[in-house]
Structure formats: C-alpha cells, structure tokens
Structure 1
C-alpha cells in the first residue's frame, strides 16, 4: 500500500492519528502545534497530501504527521509510528467490512509494530482492548478516571495541573478539547513544553463543517457540523454543547438507530428538526423525549429551527448520518446550510 511504500522511503519519525471521528482536526492542529514550537512537520496521509508526495518533495522535516483511515492501515506491513494516536471508535464503513470487528481490527493495526520506545496516545474513555507495546499517554474531556490529560471547569489539565484555559480558544466543545489534548500529548511526547503550544492552540479554528460558527441572526447562533456523518459524531457534538440546542439532524438512511441517542437528546436538545430519508425515523426514535418535526428541505429546516430558538440559544446542524440522499457530500450540505442561514439575515 501507499503508506508502507512511503514509510520505507521516508526513514524518519511519524505521528499517526486514527479514529472514527476527529482525525482531520487533530491532524491539522497537531501539525500546527509542532510547527509553532519549531518541530518541522506537515499534515499528510488521509489529510490532503499523500505521504509519498511528502517523501518525494524531500523537504527538511523533523517528523511527518499522518491522518490514517482504516483503509490505509489495511495494507501496512512494517509501518511503525513513533507516536500513534487513537481518538475514538464507533461502527462505520460497514459497506466495506463484514462486521464491526473487522473494521476495528483494521484500525488497531496502527499499534501493530510499535515498541516500548514508542508512544500510544489514547482516549481514556475508549482504550482499545489490544496488547500495546508502546508507552501509553491518555486523555479525556468526559471524566475518564486517571487520564494524563483531563478537562475541568473550562481548563485542560495535565496530571491535575492547569495548562490551558480552553475558554480562550477559538475551538468550542468538549470534543474539540479532546482534539486539543491529543495534539498537546503528541507535542509532549516530542519534548515540547506547554508554553510553546498555547498561542497556536488558542488561535486555531477548526476546518470547515466541523462545529463551525456560521452566523448569528436575531440573537441566535448557527453552527455547522455537517461533517457529523455518523451517530458517534452527533453524540460528541451534543455532549460538547454548553447549553441545550435546537438541532437539525438527518439525511441518508443507512440503518443507524437514532434511539441510541434518545436519552442524550432529552438532556441537550430543546427541539429537533429532522430532514432527509431518515427524518420520520428520527422523530419516532425520540418520541416522548424531544419535540420533533420534519422538514422537506434544508432551507425549511433552518427556518423552522430559527423560529424555535430563543435569543441566546444555538441552532446546531449536526446530521448524524451521510448526505447522499439530498447532497453530493457533507461539504455541499454544509455550504447549503450556511447559505440558508445567510438568507435569514
């Protein structure tokens, strides 16, 4: 495979990041933090530039920061990242894999060739049940006990010491705090101190369509999280909100069970507007927990959500499934949401 081919020709250290959700933000932020602290790197792999193109360019680098999908990990042989990052895991890509176990096994290959000289940066709430040779570094924004990096009262902590006031950051939500923790953990594994990281993290804005602020109309904030194409991403987005939201969700019906989120939605959503093929199923799944109505188009959903939201509240567009029933991809879906919000004003 391409990752193995490039690895054989690179010969230097790699920080490799995988997970069902959060990979791209974490990869981009990790590269920014490392570069900001003087560790020369580029983000590559499943993120934009192929690993082999980085090697071919021959630029002087201290490390390559790779986002890796399960598909890319399927074909590795000797690939060994100095730092392997495990963001999270949830069932996905079951059109490619025969079952969840096969998908998990592909993801776990990121640790396969590591040694005790390497590091495994792990989400403490989702540590994989696998034999890990590398030294573990753990993080959690959701209260997992004993994590090296934790989140409390708006602060990121390292072994109980406050190291970053997350309220000062452009990133929002606990799930983004975890992305920041993972980036900080990688930097610490490279010997970088926290002071050298702070300015970069404070100024970093997430890539488009990932809990992206798109506007405020009538005192209501509109957030585009169109990249939430599965239930795990929707769960993370809802758990990351500071106050209950008006939610727009739905899209292609790919067999997801929204009832898994019924209890969470009851605590975090004041009203839901459901769209797409799965709209009726969402309303049935959340019946009795969340007032829910359907909308035939995204424009209609935005208008209904705006009418339902009180000043000071947030309308969150976090579909929880893919877009292909109505749009060409999550990017188009996110742009259409932003355009609909702009028309409100």
Structure 2
C-alpha cells in the first residue's frame, strides 16, 4: 500500500512504536523522531532498535532540516502538538500530517466504541471491553488507554469490537474518524497547560461527533450541552436528571425498564454508576442485552488508583484516588462518598482555578492535608473553611491525616492535579500512598 514511501513517525513512545509497525507492515520505509533526551527515552529507543527501526533523537531531531519530497507522510503521536517546532518542520516542507489514531483508523474496518470526557474515560473503556468479552465478543481496551490503536491494528488480531479511549489530543488531528457509538462522559477544566483556554479544549473534545451519521449513536451525560451532530442522542444520569438511562436508590433503569440493582457491583460512587450506564448503552448498540451487560459488570475488577480501597484500620478507610488529576475528578470523588473525609490533595501547578472546590468541601470534608507544588496556594485558599495541614511527602501526609481523623472517616488521596512535581505519574503517587497506608501500625 505504501511501498517506496518514506514515513516520519514523531514520538518514540508506545503510540510511535505502534505507528511505526503499522506503517512498515503496509510497505513504508520508517524513521522515528523524538526531541527528548536520548538518556531519558533510552528504553523506548531500545524497543525501536530491537525491531530495526531507524531513529533520530535529542539534539539531532531538534536540528533536523526536512527537505521537500524527502518524506511522503508524517504521523504524530498524541503527546505532541502539531504546532510545535518538530512537526512544523515537516508541514512547512509540505509533508501531509496525520495523527496516530486517525492513521490506524483508516487502515481497519473493525467496529469500535469511542469514549471521551474529562474524567472516567479509562474506567468506562475498561468496563466496555470487559462487558463485551464476558458476553462472547472479542474486545480490548485501547487508544489513549492500554495499547494504541496502531498496535491493535498492526497485531492482526480479529477483534469483534474495540473499546477506544480518546483524548482531546488524539481528536485534534482526526479527519475521517467516527465510531458507531460515541460516548461523551463529562467535561470540566483540564489541560490548560496545553490549550490556550477552555474554548479550545472543549472544541477538541467535541470533534468526537464531527463525522457521525444518522446511523450512529451519541451517548451523552444528561445536562451536557455538546452538539452530537447527526447521531441519535441517548442520555444517562445518576444524579436525578431526566435521561434515557438512570441510576436511583441502588437500581438501574433504561427506557423506563428496571435492568437490575447495584448489590453485586464492585465499583463505588455515583460517578461510577454513570460509567456503568454509559457502558451498558454502548454495548447494547453492538447487540449486548442490557441485563447481560449489567451481570458482566459484577465480575469487573476495580483498577488501581481510582477510588480504590487500600485498607481499613481502626474504622478508618484508606482510599487511593491518585488518578484524580484534575478538579472535576476530585469533586466526583468527594461527591461519591458517604463518610466524612480527611482529604490529601495537591501536586503539580497546572494553572487550574480551585475556587469552585470551596462549595464541595463544606460538610463532607473534615480536614485537608496538602502536598506538592501547589500546597501553599491551596492552604491559602481553603484554610478559612476547615483545618489544613502541610506535608513534605506522602508518608508525612498519611501520618498527619491519620492523626487528625476520627473513627468512621475516609482518608482519601484525591490530589486534584497531576503528579509530575514529585512522581513519574499518578501510578507511582498512588503506590506511595498505598505503601504509607499499609505501613501504619
């Protein structure tokens, strides 16, 4: 298909490796470029070299001069902005640019469910893949979560339906992408270190519905104002709003019919009940009965770092919600709990406005322990509402939280921002909380 063509792949990470494999599989010559420090991305480079891909990294990539006609296509990984200097070297030389997800989408006819939203994407993506698999349809969570779409397509595995998590970064570069069922879980401020403002972030996310047709279905949280284009619009809510699918007093209803109850569901919180509603509706579009979908959820294993119960000690719950990397996720965690909370929050400065959190804290949160780069600004913002303590690291934060808590409380790590000031990612931060919690006597 791409014989005698030379493709540039931008980004040496998982998406870049997947795109390189897929381009080569289709006959292209491939070179992978990454401006990162070769010492820091050596692991990724080693994987590429093991498969005999040519790479250009670090200073060599930064000093690259792209000649017209040298490359026939450039495939960009979602972590890179098309307006950054390296991608612009190719587009300024007239090389057509394509996003990794769009590239893979155009090379497969496998059906897929597309999932976007500020929060809950990964849980919903995993739920959908789990339901499909439990109900006899081969599926896999992929895209922005798990394998990249290029990895899945290049593997040659014949999946019945893909469960595809889609970030705003991936949607920036779509041209033809569409899914038979597209999910909009929610929208809240995030990634303002990538976008000029909320308008641009919203516009990127809303592109999930850009190419839908009347034969497609848009599954949208009730109350969200996003346009779902030509698709049939279905809504869901666990917060008392009128919708096609609802959760109320422990029971699930779709189109007025009771589907079942939550007694066997391992997930916690209303926000997760909404994930279940959206997942059931998406799977139903692909032929799975609602009752079968709900029954499958009972065998779903709750992932780490998402409202995960680590332990109970002296009638105190220790809950790891390290994946709450923005304000909306933090608010969702607080709203989902039915016990008083001692909250451990803070981390990287992302330019977010935490003032709206003041209303959420009243009544539910007993005290806060603050960590990371933004701990002092958060202390200044909230200390007039409730007791706030500062901690130097996670061990100290858990110790202080335990000291100021009472029996019956939940001690929750739900940072409300990313972790890169102190950790390599939310996973390492969550493991630090788990270790500190389990070390308590």
User: Does TM, normalized by the shorter one, top 0.5?
Assistant: yes
In the alignment, which residue of structure 1 is the partner of 2:400? 304
- Provide structure 1 residue ranges, at least 5 long, that are not aligned to the other structure: none
In the alignment, which residue of structure 2 is the partner of 1:250? 346
Which of residues 170, 173, 179 is equivalent to 1:81? 179
Tell me whether 1:135 sits opposite 2:232 in the alignment.
yes
In the alignment, which residue of structure 2 is the partner of 1:205? 301
Q: Tell me, in whole angstroms, the C-alpha distance in 1 between the residues paired with 2:291 and 2:350.
A: 45
In the alignment, which residue of structure 2 is the partner of 1:165? 261
Q: Is the 8 A contact 1:263 1:289 kept in 2?
A: no
Q: Is the 8 A contact 1:140 1:150 kept in 2?
A: yes
In the alignment, which residue of structure 1 is the partner of 2:170? 72
Q: Tell me, in whole angstroms, the C-alpha distance in 2 between the residues paired with 1:131 and 1:258.
A: 30
Tell me whether 1:219 sits opposite 2:320 in the alignment.
no
Aligned pairs for 1:42-191 within 5 A: 42-128=140-226, 130=227, 132-144=229-241, 146-191=242-287
Q: Does the C-alpha gap of structure 1 residues 126 and 244 become closer, same or farther in structure 2, counting only changes over 3 Å?
A: farther
Aligned pairs for 1:211-290 within 5 A: 211-290=307-386
Q: Does the C-alpha gap of structure 1 residues 168 and 309 become closer, same or farther in structure 2, counting only changes over 3 Å?
A: farther
Tell me whether 1:321 sits opposite 2:417 in the alignment.
yes
Q: Deviation of residue 189 (structure 1)?
A: 1.5
Aligned residues, how many?
343
Q: Deviation of residue 120 (structure 1)?
A: 0.3
Q: Deviation of residue 312 (structure 1)?
A: 2.6
In the alignment, which residue of structure 1 is the partner of 2:440? 344
Q: Deviations over 1:100-129 (max 9, x none)?
A: 11111111111111001000010113241x
SS of alignment partner, residue 338 of structure 1: helix
Q: Deviation of residue 131 (structure 1)?
A: 5.2
Q: Does the C-alpha gap of structure 1 residues 167 and 310 become closer, same or farther in structure 2, counting only changes over 3 Å?
A: farther
Q: Which has the higher contact order (CA 8 A, sep 6+)?
A: 1
Tell me whether 1:331 sits opposite 2:427 in the alignment.
yes
Q: Which has the higher helix share?
A: 1
Q: Deviation of residue 288 (structure 1)?
A: 3.5
- After the TM superposition, list the runs of 4 or more consecutive aligned residues in structure 1 that deviate by more than 6 angstroms: none
TM-score, normalising length from structure 2?
A: 0.75
Q: Is the 8 A contact 1:246 1:315 kept in 2?
A: yes
TM-score, normalising length from structure 1?
A: 0.95
Q: What value does the CA root-mean-square deviation take over the aligned residues?
A: 1.5
